[in-house]
């Protein structure tokens, strides 16, 4: 692992690293914010998974999470959204290939050698983060759009690894959306029974979540028909899942929307990630 940059930020440090990923078979870049408290004691960790076309840098520079994280003494992790580099498969479309990993483990060529973002987040990067952050063992996860899909599905499949869960404008029913069917067909193949394992609405119906869920969705989001929030809301009601789904009047799908409610989400996670460290 190699340090790329380090900047003082709200009393803490915003660091960027690169490393050779065994899971993805290429170099990967990620960012970690450490609050000042991390110098003296263990702290909880909040993961933020970004959306289509993003890298680790988008939320790090435009999300507005660090100030709230510093106030609550929470570390932040900003992974990339896909493998990148020479020899990594790609597509001319913005929503397939590099920048569009969808947080799945691809099983189809030419994607399967590198596009293993699910294992990368859940296994490899988590292990690396544990060596960088003096964590108290409590992790929360959130994300935006494709990253919201990733946060919801990863948490519901790994309730032992994550304590708190939220999302910003998540793609919640990808098996029934053009933001999902195209990518799942490419990465996972045409057998739609294999897609259910990466569909938040289906997972909620089948597994639920051990705690409550916070979702913010812009009511003026230009991609509402692709995100399908109503599908997830129906599943929440049917399962009687504790959840708060807020339709925010006038807000779209941009980082202006994310940054507006970033502090709310950090505070919400902080309440559920009380530090047990010394």
Residue 122, in any domain of the structure: yes
* Residue 153 resides in a domain: yes
Q: Which domain holds residue 182?
A: 2-273
In a domain, 124, yes or no: yes
Nearest to 85 by CA among 56, 126, 58, 115: 115
**Is 221 among the residues known to form the active site?**
yes
Q: Report the number of distinct structural domains present in the chain.
A: 1
Would 121 be classed as within a structural domain?
A: yes
Cα 140 to Cα 69, 119, 188, 212, 237, distances in angstroms: 12, 17, 27, 12, 23
Q: Look at residue 118 and tell me if it is in a domain.
A: yes
Give the active site residue among 139, 149, 253, 265.
253
Burial of 240 (0-12, 13-18, 19+ CB in 10 A): exposed
Q: Is residue 149 in a domain?
A: yes
Residue by residue, pLDDT tens for the chain (278 residues) are 899 999 999 999 999 999 999 999 999 999 999 999 999 999 999 999 999 999 999 999 999 999 999 999 999 999 999 999 999 999 999 999 999 999 999 999 999 999 999 999 999 999 999 999 999 999 999 999 999 999 999 999 999 999 999 999 999 999 999 999 999 999 999 999 999 999 999 999 999 999 999 999 999 999 999 999 999 999 999 999 999 999 999 999 999 999 999 999 999 999 999 844 43
Q: Let me know if residue 278 belongs to a domain.
A: no
CATH code: domain of residue 67: 3.40.50.1820
Cα distances from 260 to residues 36, 47, 120, 162, 255, in angstroms, run 24, 18, 29, 24, 8
Residue whose entry in the numeric block shows the structure tokens 């994310």: 258
Q: Please, is 250 exposed, middle or buried when counting C-beta atoms within 10 Å of its C-beta (0-12, 13-18, 19+)? A: exposed
145 among known catalytic residues: yes
* pLDDT at site 274: 80
pLDDT reported for residue 278: 35
Give pTM, 2 decimals. Answer: 0.97
9 within domain boundaries? yes
Question: Which member of 114, 221, 269, 275 is catalytic?
Answer: 221
């Amino acid at each position: 692992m190699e340090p790329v940059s380090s900047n003082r930020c709200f009393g803490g440090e915003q660091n960027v690293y690169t490393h050779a990923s065994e899971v993805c078979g290429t170099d990967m870049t990620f960012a970690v914010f450490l609050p000042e408290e991390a110098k003296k004691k263990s702290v909880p960790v909040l993961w933020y998974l970004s959306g289509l076309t993003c890298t680790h840098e988008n939320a790090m520079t435009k999300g507005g999470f660090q100030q709230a994280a510093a106030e609550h003494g929470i570390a932040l992790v900003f992974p990339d959204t896909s493998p990148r580099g020479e020899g990594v498969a790609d597509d001319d479309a913005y929503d397939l290939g590099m920048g569009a990993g969808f947080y799945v483990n691809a099983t189809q060529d030419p994607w399967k050698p590198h596009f293993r973002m699910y294992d990368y987040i859940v296994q490899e990067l988590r292990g690396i983060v544990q060596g960088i952050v003096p964590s108290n063992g409590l992790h929360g996860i959130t994300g935006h759009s494709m990253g919201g899909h990733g946060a919801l599905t990863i948490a519901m499949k790994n309730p032992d690894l994550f304590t708190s869960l939220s999302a910003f404008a998540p793609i919640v029913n990808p098996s029934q959306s053009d933001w999902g069917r195209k990518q799942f067909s490419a990465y996972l193949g045409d057998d739609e029974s294999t897609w259910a394992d990466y569909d938040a609405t289906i997972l909620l119906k089948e597994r639920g979540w051990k705690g409550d869920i916070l979702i913010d969705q812009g009511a003026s989001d230009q991609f509402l028909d692709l995100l399908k929030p109503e599908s997830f809301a129906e599943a929440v009601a049917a399962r009687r899942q504790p959840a708060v789904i807020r339709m925010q009047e006038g807000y779209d799908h941009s980082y202006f929307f994310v940054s507006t409610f970033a502090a709310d989400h950090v505070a919400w996670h902080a309440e559920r990630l009380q530090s047990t460290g010394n």
